[in-house]
Amino acid sequence: MQHRVVVIGAGFAGLQTVLGLKGSGCQITLIDQRNHHLFQPLLYQVATTLLATSDIAWPIRALLRDRKDVTTLLGTVEDVDRTTREVVLRSGERVGFDTLVIATGARHAYFGKDAWEPDAPGLKTLEDATTIRRRMLLAFERAELTENEAERQALLTFAVIGAGPTGVEMVGIIAELAHRILPREFRRMDTRKARILLVEAGPRILPAFSEDLSQYAAKALGRDGVEVMTGHPVTDCSGDGITVNGQFIPAQTTIWAAGVQASRAKDWLGAEADRAGRVMVAPDLTVPDDPAIFVLGDTAHVVSDGKPVPGVAPAAKQQGSYTAQVILARLTGKPAPAPFQYRHMGNLATIGRNSAVIEYGRFKMRGWLAWWVWGIAHIYFLIGARSRIFVALSWLWVFLSGQNSARLITQKETLKEP
Amino acid sequence: MQHRVVVIGAGFAGLQTVLGLKGSGCQITLIDQRNHHLFQPLLYQVATTLLATSDIAWPIRALLRDRKDVTTLLGTVEDVDRTTREVVLRSGERVGFDTLVIATGARHAYFGKDAWEPDAPGLKTLEDATTIRRRMLLAFERAELTENEAERQALLTFAVIGAGPTGVEMVGIIAELAHRILPREFRRMDTRKARILLVEAGPRILPAFSEDLSQYAAKALGRDGVEVMTGHPVTDCSGDGITVNGQFIPAQTTIWAAGVQASRAKDWLGAEADRAGRVMVAPDLTVPDDPAIFVLGDTAHVVSDGKPVPGVAPAAKQQGSYTAQVILARLTGKPAPAPFQYRHMGNLATIGRNSAVIEYGRFKMRGWLAWWVWGIAHIYFLIGARSRIFVALSWLWVFLSGQNSARLITQKETLKEP
């Protein structure tokens, strides 16, 4: 009988596991809540009108259509039955496994302030991205309609909470939109009056970078019209605005980029987890008391060289490849691979659409050349020629025309009036 | 004081009016419920996974950014006050006009069976297109999950009601998806077992075309695996299926392409209208008792050469240009242009993605060459170099790879299980 591998989650880690098991002879089932694999590193560009949703997402089935050994299921996992060795779907279906790989990612976390979520959406899914885009564009539309100056200023205030790469990348594009692209399109107001705030509780933005690059980024953002506020956490957040350092700032659009919480895998497994809900795994990425169950990517607390591995795409992909190797070694009776070792691929973040900061060990780079290196690297990592061509052309178009193209407001909220 | 022109609706007719008034010195306000102009003739390709939403829609503001004489408002019109000469928005704002142009289009109509709408969505907006796409793709996903054979067959049955160009164009692509593209991607079932029905109450499909082309299209669809059912209206429609000629056909996905109803303009104006709700207009497209109010496009019942003008894009554009001419003539004191005359640009419809039928007077064309003529014509009519490049590349990609690319399931419904 074939060895049955069930992989939950078709993100970077899960998909890479499936790709690594090509030719293994296993019977693989890949389960995801969505029908698409998402290239999360560029999701902020969908949220900020630079790219279309279809540029950075691919139907999972289409990616794996030539892999007859893989069955793809669109479904939501409710639980894992470790006794019967089955994954339980919400539909009631049970999928048996010999080896289980859990790579269900993370959602944004509000540090116990879950009530903030409706007013400060985070950015993890395509729906999140189109929600942020819609709110942002509608804020400009409503600002054009109102005759109340205070309301207009609140509508033109955009607060991004959290200054990691995602937060920094978003404010850069929003500032460009407000200060350079939209002014020509509105007649009753000046969109250059928009305030774009980047709020960070820690002492500086881009904390994963070295201090000089972090300072460079803060200065570059300041030049582009972003107000960088560091050293104070947001203490309150509502549909009307945020409170920072005791001061209330009216803001109709708030975006959350401050923290993540792992998916519910720890509950399914009854496993030990860290504060962010990530399952503590053994050096070979398995659950300590069950070598047939792997947990990887943003769902796992993985230690390499004595340090926790960051929740970034290259780490997830490396873990997926490693997991496939471990499974293959077991099936062929080869010795187990050495414990998982994370190879850091550097830190990258864009600032607006003409600048970036890159750090790889002692190598540092910043400015427009860094943007091009960043762009070429990301095009390389996209899946398939079509996406590469379309994303490259989209960027080229923005670069030449100065126009962001993905600026449609869709879905029901469109019809609400101010 | 400047002459104030208010245009309601930024579809083909409204936008063309605004473009025609360039340099007129009027103060123009363009009001639309959406932030984008939509290229409706290709909307069926968004619904059937060939194109992305951003390929065929453009932010209205961006299109008119260099027209300082135009103010664009995102808003819903509630009424027209003919006494005070104001347009009343839902927000309460009132916009005064000297000349009013109403081009608010049409919605699908269910001939008094409005209860059918939730189960048989029509295709007029981008949301309609993504709704149809989501339902169609989810039907395949659910069919893969079920173990009940009858349920699976109902999930794999797609009924399109109405065999005008939109209905014909949709079934062609759905058949291709089910019979040629998806079979390689599903493991538990054969998507080639899908039934694709085209149901038409009238005696033949594509009634606007001559009989031989209509027969050719029906044969071509049959070869592609579409069941063409003519001569009987649908007498009932629910989430479980449709009833045709007394027979119930289980079908989980039904799409409505059978009729339209004009927007509410007739109520705003208290004007006389035809059965489809279109305002009866004078030969110069104005309301008979009010020469300062024009009604055009799908909202108007226009007669040219003794025949009603069809609700197609070229007719709407011609009416927009004509309206601008009439307004300009009045402002400059020139004699009024001759009554509106419709120039028929021919009938076109695609069958699948390799064939089309074209008719222009006595000239007829069919097959793959007609598809290319159709494709080039539509790329020509798109707005801007970017859309032309992206749509042409999308088609080229589908042609070369055999893969439809716009196959993402997004929005909340994703998470429901069968």
CA atoms within 13 A on the CB side of B168: 28
Residue of B nearest to A404 (CA): B62
Strands of A226-230's sheet in order across: A226-230, A195-200, A157-161, A253-256
| A27 pLDDT above the threshold of 60 | yes
Place A403 in a pLDDT band, splitting at 50, 70 and 90. confident
Average pLDDT over residues B172-186: 94
pLDDT at residue A263 above 80?
A: yes
Using CB atoms, which residue from A182, A390, A410 is nearest to B126? A410
Do A10 and A33 touch, CB atoms closer than 8 A? Answer: no
Q: Tell me the average pLDDT across B308-314.
A: 94
Query: What is the phi-psi region of residue B28: left when phi exceeds 0, alpha when psi lies from -120 to 50, beta otherwise?
Result: beta
pLDDT reading at A414 higher than 70: no
Determine the average pLDDT of the residues in A200-226: 96
Distance from C-alpha of A179 to C-alpha of A168, rounded to nearest angstrom:
17
Check: CB of residue B121 under 8 Å from CB of residue B132.
yes
Please identify among residues 40-79 of chain B the ones whose CB lies closer than 8 Å to any CB of chain A.
52-55, 57, 59, 61-62, 64-66, 68, 70-76
Residue A212 distance to chain B (closest CA, Å): 38
Nearest to A76 among B70, B411, B417 (CB): B417
Supply the residues of A annotated as catalytic: 169
- b/e per residue B135-152 (b: at least 16 CB within 10 A): bbbbbbbbbbbbeeeebb
Rounded distance between C-alpha atoms, residue B344 and residue B305, angstroms:
11
Residue range A273-304, pLDDT digits in tens: 999 999 999 999 999 999 999 999 999 999 99
pLDDT of res. A255: 97
Rounded distance between C-alpha atoms, residue B199 and residue B168, angstroms: 10
* Residue A166: closest CA among A298, A302, A303, A311: A311
| Domains of chain B: residue spans and CATH | 4-33+75-108+260-332 (3.50.50.60), 114-258+346-415 (3.50.50.100)
Q: What is the pLDDT of residues B327-349, one digit of tens each?
A: 999 999 999 999 999 999 999 99
B407/A35 touch (CB, cutoff 8 Å), yes or no? yes
Position B124 scores a pLDDT of 93
User: Which residue of A74, A145, A408 is in closest CB contact with B93?
Assistant: A145
A356-387: per-residue pLDDT in tens? Answer: 999 998 999 999 999 999 999 999 999 888 88
Q: Does residue A394 register a pLDDT over 80? A: yes
Question: What confidence tier does A408 reach under pLDDT thresholds 50, 70, 90?
Answer: confident
Nearest residue in chain A measured CA to CA from B140: A74
pLDDT at A412 over 70: no
Least confident of A63-72, A111-120, A244-253, B309-318: A111-120
Amino acid A417: pLDDT: 33
- Taking an 8 Å cut-off on Cβ atoms, the answer to whether B406 and A54 are in contact is yes
With beta carbons less than 8 A apart as the criterion, state whether B273 and B281 touch.
no
What confidence score (pLDDT) does residue A324 get? 98
Tell me the sheet residues that pair with B228.
Answer: B198
Which A residues in the span 286-325 are in contact with B, Cβ-Cβ below 8 Å?
A: none
List, as ranges, residues 116-155 from B with C-beta within 8 Å of A. 126-127, 130, 137-138, 141, 144-145
- Assign B416 a pLDDT band (cuts: 50, 70, 90): very low
Using pLDDT thresholds of 50, 70 and 90, give the confidence band for residue B353. confident
pLDDT at residue B415 tops 60: no
Burial degree of A361 (CB within 10 A; 0-12, 13-18, 19+): exposed
Q: What is the 3-state secondary structure (H, E, C) of chain B?
A: CCCEEEEECCCHHHHHHHHHCCCCCCEEEEEECCCEEECHHHHHHHHCCCCCHHHCEEEHHHHCCCCCCEEEEECCEEEEECCCCEEEECCCCEEECCEEEECCCEEECCCCCHHHCCCCCCCCCHHHHHHHHHHHHHHHHHHHHCCCHHHHHHHCEEEEECCCHHHHHHHHHHHHHHHHHHHHHCCCCCHHHCEEEEEECCCCCCCCCCHHHHHHHHHHHHHCCEEEEECCCEEEEECCEEEECCEEEECCEEEECCCEEECCHHHHHCCCECCCCCEECCCCCEECCEEEEEECHHHEECEECCEECCCCHHHHHHHHHHHHHHHHHHHHCCCCCCCCCCCCCCEEEEECCCEEEEEECCEEEEEHHHHHHHHHHHHHHCCHHHHHHHHHHHHHHHHHHCCCCCCCCCCHHHHCCC
At A280 the pLDDT is 97
| ipTM over cut 0.95 | no
CB-CB under 8 Å, B93 with A53: no
Chain B residues whose beta carbon lies within 8 Å of the beta carbon of residue A412: 127
Task: Report chain B's mean pLDDT, rounded to a whole number.
Answer: 93
Measure the CA–CA gap between A186 and B72, rounded to whole angstroms.
8
Q: Residue B410 and residue A91: Cβ atoms within 8 Å?
A: no
For residue B367, is pLDDT > 60? yes
Token pair for residue A185?
A: 């399109």
pLDDT for res A407: 82
3-state per-residue secondary structure call for chain A? CCCEEEEECCCHHHHHHHHHCCCCCCEEEEEECCCEEECHHHHHHHHCCCCCHHHCEEEHHHHCCCCCCEEEEECCEEEEECCCCEEEECCCCEEECCEEEECCCEEECCCCCHHHHHHCCCCCCHHHHHHHHHHHHHHHHHHHHCCCHHHHHHHCEEEEECCCHHHHHHHHHHHHHHHHHHHHCCCCCCHHHCEEEEEECCCCCCCCCCHHHHHHHHHHHHHCCEEEEECCCEEEEECCEEEECCEEEECCEEEECCCEEECCHHHHHCCCECCCCCEECCCCCEECCEEEEEECHHHEECEECCEECCCCHHHHHHHHHHHHHHHHHHHHCCCCCCCCCCCCCCEEEEECCCEEEEEECCEEEEEHHHHHHHHHHHHHHCCHHHHHHHHHHHHHHHHHHCCCCCCCCCCHHHHCCC
Task: Answer yes or no: B169 catalytic.
Answer: yes
A396: contact with B, CB 8 A cutoff: no
- pLDDT given for residue B412 in this prediction: 53
d(CA A62, CA A41): 21
- Chain A residues within 8 A of B55 when measuring between CB atoms: 52
**Residues from chain A contacting residue B145 (CB–CB below 8 Å):** 73-75, 91, 93
Cβ contact B37:B10 at 8 Å: yes
- Which of A399-413, B45-59, B97-111, B273-287 is least confident? A399-413
- Helix A12-20 to helix A313-332 angle, to the nearest 10 degrees? 30
- Counting every residue written for chain B, the total comes to 418
pLDDT of B386 over the 60 cut: yes
Helix axes B368-381, B384-401, angle to 10 degrees: 150
Contacts B59 to A, Cβ<8 Å: 185, 407-408
Tell me the pLDDT band of A411, cut-offs 50, 70 and 90: low
Q: Under an 8 A CB cutoff, do A93 and B130 touch?
A: no
A68 pLDDT above the threshold of 60: yes
Averaged pLDDT for residues B154-177: 96
The Cα A273–Cα A293 span in angstroms is: 15
pLDDT mean over B27-49: 95
What percentage of residues in chain A have a pLDDT greater than 70? Answer: 98
CA–CA distance, B370 with B349 (Å, rounded to integer): 9
Mean pLDDT across chain A:
93
Work out the average pLDDT over B177-195: 95
pLDDT at B313: 94
- The mean per-residue pLDDT over the stretch A244-253 comes to 96
Tokens of A192: 């250059």
Q: Chain A residue with minimal CA distance to B390?
A: A390
Which has the closest alpha carbon to A154: A195, A120, A113, A114? A195
Q: Which of residues 188-247 of A touch B (CB under 8 A)?
A: 188
